[in-house]
Structure 1
Amino acid sequence: MYEEDLNTVVVRCPNCGHTTQLEIDNSAGNQDYQDECSACGDLIHVQLQVDELHNKTKVHIEGNDG
């Protein structure tokens, strides 16, 4: 992992509604993992879809129960 592969995205926690920042690493391609909200501590389900052809990454989040 190289520093240029890291991106910061601002998302709204689906559990508490607080705005939080997530560090994502799109160098590993598509990903599906859990991250923790910095405000409430609940888990956030994060899905990354990497489109290398168009050099874009889509971030989808939902509550841990989703």
Structure 2
Amino acid sequence: MPQLPSADIECPYCGEVITVFVDDSAGEQDYIEDCQVCCKPIQIRVRLDEDGMPEVQARGQDDA
């Protein structure tokens, strides 16, 4: 079974760098994942670049 791609993101709350795994077969996505360190909810946005590689952005729920 192939391994899911991963991305390192910085938690917008505690600043720790955490690794998230991305299901790149699902296309573009928006979802919430709790920080593995401080447990606060992070909004994750996944977009695919022109080569089909996932680009991951992380935001706090109260960020504009």
Deviation (angstroms), 1:5: 6.0
The answer to whether the aligner puts 1:60 opposite 2:64 as a matched pair is: no
More strand by share: 1
Identity of aligned residues (%): 30
Task: Give the Å deviation of 1:65.
Answer: 1.5
1:8-19 paired onto structure 2 within 5 Å: 8-19=6-17
Alpha-carbon offset, residue 61 of structure 1: 0.9
- 1:31-62 CA deviation, whole Å, 9 max, x = no partner? 000001010000110000123x4132111111
CA RMSD of aligned residues (A): 1.5
Aligned to 1:49: 47
TM-score (structure 2 length as normaliser): 0.84
Residue 24 of structure 2, aligned match among 19, 26, 51: 26
Q: Which runs of 5+ in 1 are unaligned?
A: none
* Distance in 2, Cα, partners of 1:16 & 1:23: 20
Task: Give runs of ≥4 in structure 1 deviating > 3 Å.
Answer: none
Which structure shows the higher helix fraction?
A: 1
TM-score (norm 1): 0.82
Structure 2: runs of 5 or more not aligned? none
